[in-house]
Protein backbone atom coordinates (compact mmCIF):
# COMPACT_ATOMS: atom_id res chain seq x y z
CA UNK A 1 0.00 0.00 0.00
CA UNK A 2 2.95 2.33 0.62
CA UNK A 3 3.44 3.08 -3.06
CA UNK A 4 -0.20 4.27 -3.33
CA UNK A 5 -0.26 6.53 -0.27
CA UNK A 6 0.48 9.70 -2.24
CA UNK A 7 -1.97 8.81 -5.03
CA UNK A 8 -4.78 8.16 -2.57
CA UNK A 9 -4.03 11.39 -0.71
CA UNK A 10 -4.14 13.33 -3.98
CA UNK A 11 -7.49 11.76 -4.95
CA UNK A 12 -9.08 12.50 -1.58
CA UNK A 13 -7.54 15.95 -1.30
CA UNK A 14 -8.76 16.98 -4.75
CA UNK A 15 -12.29 15.75 -3.96
CA UNK A 16 -12.29 17.54 -0.62
CA UNK A 17 -11.12 20.80 -2.23
CA UNK A 18 -13.69 20.60 -5.03
CA UNK A 19 -16.55 19.91 -2.61
CA UNK A 20 -15.40 22.76 -0.37
CA UNK A 21 -15.38 25.25 -3.25
CA UNK A 22 -18.89 24.31 -4.31
CA UNK A 23 -20.06 24.39 -0.69
CA UNK A 24 -18.58 27.87 -0.20
CA UNK A 25 -20.79 29.21 -2.99
CA UNK A 26 -23.86 27.64 -1.38
CA UNK A 27 -22.94 28.96 2.09
CA UNK A 28 -22.35 32.45 0.70
CA UNK A 29 -25.94 32.51 -0.55
CA UNK A 30 -27.31 31.19 2.75
CA UNK A 31 -28.38 27.74 1.60
CA UNK A 32 -29.06 25.03 4.23
CA UNK A 33 -26.53 22.60 2.72
CA UNK A 34 -23.32 24.58 2.41
CA UNK A 35 -19.58 24.40 2.97
CA UNK A 36 -19.25 21.40 5.28
CA UNK A 37 -22.04 19.38 3.68
CA UNK A 38 -20.64 19.58 0.16
CA UNK A 39 -17.08 18.95 1.34
CA UNK A 40 -18.13 15.80 3.19
CA UNK A 41 -20.31 14.54 0.34
CA UNK A 42 -17.51 14.88 -2.20
CA UNK A 43 -14.92 13.38 0.15
CA UNK A 44 -17.16 10.44 1.07
CA UNK A 45 -17.88 9.67 -2.59
CA UNK A 46 -14.17 9.73 -3.41
CA UNK A 47 -13.37 7.58 -0.39
CA UNK A 48 -15.81 4.86 -1.43
CA UNK A 49 -14.43 4.84 -4.96
CA UNK A 50 -10.85 4.63 -3.65
CA UNK A 51 -11.88 1.39 -1.97
CA UNK A 52 -12.61 -0.14 -5.36
CA UNK A 53 -9.81 1.59 -7.30
CA UNK A 54 -7.19 0.28 -4.85
CA UNK A 55 -8.92 -2.90 -3.78
CA UNK A 56 -5.76 -5.02 -3.83
CA UNK A 57 -4.15 -2.73 -1.28
CA UNK A 58 -6.65 -3.80 1.35
CA UNK A 59 -7.40 -7.32 0.06
CA UNK A 60 -3.75 -8.23 0.00
CA UNK A 61 -1.80 -10.46 -2.36
CA UNK A 62 -2.82 -13.57 -0.44
CA UNK A 63 -6.30 -13.40 -2.00
CA UNK A 64 -6.32 -14.90 -5.52
CA UNK A 65 -7.41 -12.34 -8.11
CA UNK A 66 -9.72 -14.90 -9.72
CA UNK A 67 -11.80 -15.26 -6.53
CA UNK A 68 -12.71 -11.56 -6.18
CA UNK A 69 -14.67 -9.49 -8.67
CA UNK A 70 -15.59 -5.96 -7.59
CA UNK A 71 -17.61 -3.68 -9.84
CA UNK A 72 -16.84 0.04 -9.31
CA UNK A 73 -19.96 1.03 -11.26
CA UNK A 74 -22.16 -0.62 -8.62
CA UNK A 75 -20.44 1.40 -5.92
CA UNK A 76 -21.10 4.56 -7.94
CA UNK A 77 -24.76 3.62 -8.37
CA UNK A 78 -25.09 3.07 -4.63
CA UNK A 79 -23.52 6.47 -3.91
CA UNK A 80 -25.85 8.32 -6.26
CA UNK A 81 -28.88 6.50 -4.84
CA UNK A 82 -27.91 7.45 -1.29
CA UNK A 83 -27.28 11.06 -2.25
CA UNK A 84 -30.87 11.23 -3.49
CA UNK A 85 -32.10 11.03 0.11
CA UNK A 86 -29.75 13.81 1.21
CA UNK A 87 -30.80 15.99 -1.71
CA UNK A 88 -34.47 15.48 -0.92
CA UNK A 89 -33.84 16.78 2.59
CA UNK A 90 -32.95 20.28 1.36
CA UNK A 91 -36.03 20.64 -0.85
CA UNK A 92 -39.05 22.15 0.88
CA UNK A 93 -42.40 23.47 -0.25
CA UNK A 94 -44.11 26.57 1.13
CA UNK A 95 -47.53 26.91 -0.44
CA UNK A 96 -46.92 26.97 -4.18
CA UNK A 97 -43.26 27.88 -3.75
CA UNK A 98 -40.60 25.16 -3.99
CA UNK A 99 -37.09 25.95 -2.75
CA UNK A 100 -33.84 24.00 -2.53
CA UNK A 101 -33.85 22.44 -6.00
CA UNK A 102 -30.56 24.05 -7.01
CA UNK A 103 -28.89 23.03 -3.75
CA UNK A 104 -30.13 19.45 -4.18
CA UNK A 105 -28.73 19.41 -7.72
CA UNK A 106 -25.39 20.76 -6.46
CA UNK A 107 -25.20 17.98 -3.84
CA UNK A 108 -25.89 15.37 -6.51
CA UNK A 109 -23.24 16.93 -8.78
CA UNK A 110 -20.74 17.09 -5.92
CA UNK A 111 -21.18 13.36 -5.34
CA UNK A 112 -20.53 12.67 -9.02
CA UNK A 113 -17.38 14.82 -8.91
CA UNK A 114 -16.19 12.93 -5.85
CA UNK A 115 -16.60 9.64 -7.71
CA UNK A 116 -14.43 10.92 -10.57
CA UNK A 117 -11.71 12.14 -8.21
CA UNK A 118 -11.88 8.86 -6.30
CA UNK A 119 -11.04 6.77 -9.36
CA UNK A 120 -8.41 9.28 -10.51
CA UNK A 121 -10.30 10.69 -13.50
CA UNK A 122 -8.93 14.16 -12.82
CA UNK A 123 -9.50 15.87 -16.16
CA UNK A 124 -13.31 15.48 -16.35
CA UNK A 125 -13.56 15.96 -12.58
CA UNK A 126 -11.75 19.31 -12.80
CA UNK A 127 -13.88 20.40 -15.74
CA UNK A 128 -17.03 19.37 -13.86
CA UNK A 129 -15.91 21.33 -10.78
CA UNK A 130 -15.32 24.49 -12.82
CA UNK A 131 -18.59 24.01 -14.72
CA UNK A 132 -20.52 23.56 -11.45
CA UNK A 133 -19.00 26.68 -9.90
CA UNK A 134 -19.72 28.61 -13.08
CA UNK A 135 -23.30 27.38 -13.18
CA UNK A 136 -23.97 28.32 -9.56
CA UNK A 137 -22.24 31.70 -9.60
CA UNK A 138 -22.06 33.06 -13.14
CA UNK A 139 -25.44 31.74 -14.25
CA UNK A 140 -27.04 33.57 -11.33
CA UNK A 141 -26.00 36.88 -12.89
CA UNK A 142 -27.08 35.72 -16.33
CA UNK A 143 -30.53 34.88 -14.94
CA UNK A 144 -30.75 38.39 -13.48
CA UNK A 145 -29.83 39.87 -16.85
CA UNK A 146 -32.12 37.75 -19.01
CA UNK A 147 -35.69 39.10 -19.27
CA UNK A 148 -37.91 36.61 -17.48
CA UNK A 149 -41.20 36.35 -15.64
CA UNK A 150 -41.38 36.39 -11.87
CA UNK A 151 -44.07 34.37 -10.10
CA UNK A 152 -45.46 34.90 -6.62
CA UNK A 153 -48.32 33.62 -4.52
CA UNK A 154 -50.61 36.45 -3.37
CA UNK A 155 -53.23 36.29 -0.62
CA UNK A 156 -55.60 39.20 0.09
CA UNK A 157 -57.96 39.27 3.06
CA UNK A 158 -60.91 41.62 3.34
CA UNK A 159 -63.74 41.91 5.84
CA UNK A 160 -66.44 39.36 5.04
CA UNK A 161 -69.03 42.14 5.23
CA UNK A 162 -67.23 44.43 2.75
CA UNK A 163 -65.20 42.29 0.36
CA UNK A 164 -63.69 43.97 -2.69
CA UNK A 165 -65.06 42.71 -5.99
CA UNK A 166 -62.89 40.36 -8.02
CA UNK A 167 -62.95 42.77 -10.97
CA UNK A 168 -61.40 45.49 -8.81
CA UNK A 169 -58.67 43.12 -7.61
CA UNK A 170 -57.83 42.15 -11.18
CA UNK A 171 -57.76 45.81 -12.22
CA UNK A 172 -55.45 46.71 -9.33
CA UNK A 173 -52.98 43.96 -10.25
CA UNK A 174 -53.14 44.81 -13.96
CA UNK A 175 -52.21 48.44 -13.22
CA UNK A 176 -49.18 47.20 -11.27
CA UNK A 177 -48.05 45.08 -14.22
CA UNK A 178 -49.29 41.68 -13.02
CA UNK A 179 -51.32 38.96 -14.67
CA UNK A 180 -53.18 36.29 -12.72
CA UNK A 181 -52.50 32.65 -13.49
CA UNK A 182 -55.27 31.28 -11.27
CA UNK A 183 -57.46 32.42 -8.39
CA UNK A 184 -59.18 30.74 -5.47
CA UNK A 185 -61.64 32.05 -2.87
CA UNK A 186 -62.17 31.45 0.82
CA UNK A 187 -64.57 32.85 3.40
CA UNK A 188 -64.21 32.21 7.13
CA UNK A 189 -67.32 33.40 8.97
CA UNK A 190 -65.87 32.76 12.42
CA UNK A 191 -62.69 34.71 11.70
CA UNK A 192 -64.67 37.33 9.79
CA UNK A 193 -62.74 37.56 6.54
CA UNK A 194 -63.04 36.83 2.83
CA UNK A 195 -59.80 35.84 1.08
CA UNK A 196 -58.54 35.84 -2.49
CA UNK A 197 -55.57 33.56 -3.14
CA UNK A 198 -53.83 33.56 -6.52
CA UNK A 199 -50.61 33.02 -8.46
CA UNK A 200 -49.45 36.25 -10.09
CA UNK A 201 -46.86 36.86 -12.80
CA UNK A 202 -44.88 39.89 -13.92
CA UNK A 203 -41.88 40.73 -16.10
CA UNK A 204 -40.87 43.75 -13.96
CA UNK A 205 -38.20 42.99 -11.33
CA UNK A 206 -39.30 45.74 -8.91
CA UNK A 207 -43.03 45.11 -9.30
CA UNK A 208 -43.40 43.04 -6.11
CA UNK A 209 -42.09 45.85 -3.90
CA UNK A 210 -44.33 48.37 -5.64
CA UNK A 211 -47.33 46.10 -5.20
CA UNK A 212 -46.59 45.67 -1.48
CA UNK A 213 -46.49 49.45 -1.05
CA UNK A 214 -49.78 49.85 -2.88
CA UNK A 215 -51.47 47.19 -0.76
CA UNK A 216 -50.17 48.70 2.52
CA UNK A 217 -51.93 51.95 1.69
CA UNK A 218 -55.36 50.31 1.39
CA UNK A 219 -57.49 50.75 4.51
CA UNK A 220 -60.05 48.12 3.47
CA UNK A 221 -57.42 45.37 3.35
CA UNK A 222 -57.14 43.37 6.56
CA UNK A 223 -54.06 41.38 5.58
CA UNK A 224 -51.99 40.47 2.55
CA UNK A 225 -49.17 38.07 1.85
CA UNK A 226 -46.77 37.96 -1.13
CA UNK A 227 -44.62 34.83 -1.41
CA UNK A 228 -42.17 34.93 -4.37
CA UNK A 229 -41.36 31.59 -5.92
CA UNK A 230 -37.68 30.71 -6.36
CA UNK A 231 -35.05 27.96 -5.99
pLDDT tens digit string along 105-156?
A: 888 899 999 988 888 888 889 999 998 888 888 887 776 777 677 888 899 9
List, in order, residues 6 or more apart from 95 with CB less than 8 Å away: 153, 227
Tell me: pLDDT of 1 over 60: no
What backbone phi and psi angles, to 5 degrees, belong to 29?
-95, 15
| Residue of 200, 212, 42, 55 whose CA lies nearest to 128 | 42
Q: How far apart are CA 129 and CA 50, in angstroms?
A: 19
Cα three-residue angle 12-132-23, rounded to 5 degrees:
60
Q: What's the whole-number mean pLDDT along residues 150-169? A: 90
Rg (CA), the chain: 26
Q: What is the mean pLDDT of the chain?
A: 82
Q: Which stretches of 133-178 are assigned E, i.e. beta strand? A: 150-159
Q: How far apart are CA 149 and CA 217, in angstroms?
A: 26
Residue 163 has what pLDDT? 86
Contact status, residue 59 vs residue 65, Cβ threshold 8 Å: no
Residue 68 has what pLDDT? 56
Helix (H, G, I), strand (E, B) or coil at 202: strand
pTM of the model: 0.63
List, in order, residues 6 or more apart from 15 with CB less than 8 Å away: 42, 43, 45, 46, 113, 114, 117, 118, 125
Tell me: pLDDT of 168 over 90: yes
H/E run at residue 22: helix 5-28
DSSP lists the bridge partners of residue 184 as 197
3, 9, 220 from 6: Cα distances, Å: 7, 5, 72
| Residue of 198, 195, 139, 140 whose CA lies nearest to 174 | 198
Amino acid sequence: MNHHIIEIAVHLGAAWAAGSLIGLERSFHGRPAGFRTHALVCLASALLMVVTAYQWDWLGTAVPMETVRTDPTRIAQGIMTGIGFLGAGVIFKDGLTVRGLTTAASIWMTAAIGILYGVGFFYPATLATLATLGTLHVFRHIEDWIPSHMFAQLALRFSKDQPVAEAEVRELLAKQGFSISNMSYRMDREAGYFEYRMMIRTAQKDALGALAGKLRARQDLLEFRISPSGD
